[in-house]
Amino acid sequence: MENNQPKIGVIGVGHLGQHHVKHLVEMDNLSFSGIYDKNKARSEEIASTYRVKSFYSLEKLIDKSDGLTIVTPTADHFHTALECIQKGKSVFIEKPISHSVQSADSLLSAAEENNVFIQVGHIERFNPALLAVKDCQLNPKFIEVQRLAPYTSRGTDVPVVLDLMTHDIDILLSFVDSGVKSVAATGLSIMTDSVDIAHARIRFENGTVASLTSSRIAKDKVRKIKLFQKNMYVTIDMLLNLTEVYQVVNKDSTHTELTAPLNYKGTQKEIVYKKPTVLHNDALKMELENFADSLRGNSTPAVTGISGRNVLAIAEQIHDLILEDLH
């Protein structure tokens, strides 16, 4: 790596990969090595739009790079990532890390052997509405998450649990510092041969319970999280970028926030309403900056390969339970 400026390439420049290219070419302190897509026409189109080099051989792009982002369909993550890792290159793999826990474990072992790191593109960790709750002292006891999307053919190569619910499992694991005690799940196939709607109930060892609903058969997009804990209720709308906090506090005339009386057994408490500032950061840009910084050795990945693997293990468990329930 020259002058601590990592050379970064992108593998797979479809719907999402083109945005990786767009952000990376604009970033300072790195050198964009080029792109590779097995669809040559697509590769050339993106190369011409962003004035970058399109490689005709994956091997050559890997040789010219210090780190690679892998934005191919999920089924291809494993082989592509393994090839990069075995050539001693760190990788940013779009979510989910791979198609199976077994293959994710093989990637983790290969990364350790080759002394490289894996970052996973669980982009919601950088969602500004979620980042806005960082000062809220959260210790949620009940969490409700809804992620609904109108049907598109993209992402349907994998069941909805792997495509959409993995985002929310990752968010959940970042909120709850406890092992999973039990999982119950149900789901249905509606438009595809695979599961399109899924509901999971996860109980953690510390008593926290989460209810997750993911669907790719919806009229409107919904991405909402509700967190409940003693004296606090937080709602996060990841589409509207709106975070709201309702907190029960002792009555105090010096409060500057909006308050409402708590009409409960003559209590001397009131409800304070807060709207934490939500910054308008681009989450994809932030996670790619995190990757570049980790390659420079100035940071570590916010979502490690192990985190991505643990998300996938729960997703796999949920999906297996749904299949059991259906048959």
Residues found near ligand NAD in the complex (CB under 6 A): 11-17, 36-39, 42, 71-74, 76, 80, 94-95, 121, 123, 154
Q: Give whichever of 89 and 95 is closer to ligand NAD, judged by the CB atom.
A: 95
Minimum distance of ligand NAD from residue 192's CB (angstroms): 15
Q: Give whichever of 72 and 247 is closer to ligand NAD, judged by the CB atom.
A: 72
Minimum distance of ligand NAD from residue 285's CB (angstroms): 13
223 with 146: CB under 8 angstroms? yes
Closest CA to 20 of 278, 241, 282: 282
Q: Give whichever of 247 and 304 is closer to ligand NAD, judged by the CB atom.
A: 304
Exposed e or buried b per residue across 168-181, where buried means at least 16 C-beta atoms within 10 angstroms of its C-beta: bbbbbbbbbeeebe
- Cα(243)–Cα(291) distance, rounded to whole angstroms? 27
- Cα(315)–Cα(278) distance, rounded to whole angstroms? 29
Minimum distance of ligand NAD from residue 203's CB (angstroms): 27
Q: Give whichever of 13 and 278 is closer to ligand NAD, judged by the CB atom.
A: 13
- Cα(43)–Cα(40) distance, rounded to whole angstroms? 5
Minimum distance of ligand NAD from residue 2's CB (angstroms): 26
Q: Give whichever of 73 and 276 is closer to ligand NAD, judged by the CB atom.
A: 73
* Crossing angle of helices 101-113 and 74-86, rounded to 10°: 20
The closest residue (CB) to ligand NAD is 14
Which positions ≥6 away from 135 have C-beta within 8 Å? 276
Which positions ≥6 away from 25 have C-beta within 8 Å? 32, 50, 51, 52
- Cα(81)–Cα(61) distance, rounded to whole angstroms? 13
My answer on whether omega of the bond before 140 falls inside 30° of 0, hence cis, is no
Closest CA to 26 of 279, 282, 295, 285: 285
- Cα(66)–Cα(59) distance, rounded to whole angstroms? 13
Q: Give whichever of 232 and 311 is closer to ligand NAD, judged by the CB atom.
A: 311
Strand-pair partners of 246: 233, 273
Minimum distance of ligand NAD from residue 163's CB (angstroms): 6
Minimum distance of ligand NAD from residue 287's CB (angstroms): 8
Minimum distance of ligand NAD from residue 231's CB (angstroms): 33
Q: Give whichever of 11 and 210 is closer to ligand NAD, judged by the CB atom.
A: 11
Q: Give whichever of 74 and 310 is closer to ligand NAD, judged by the CB atom.
A: 74
Minimum distance of ligand NAD from residue 204's CB (angstroms): 25
Which positions ≥6 away from 211 have C-beta within 8 Å? 142, 143, 144, 145, 199, 200, 201
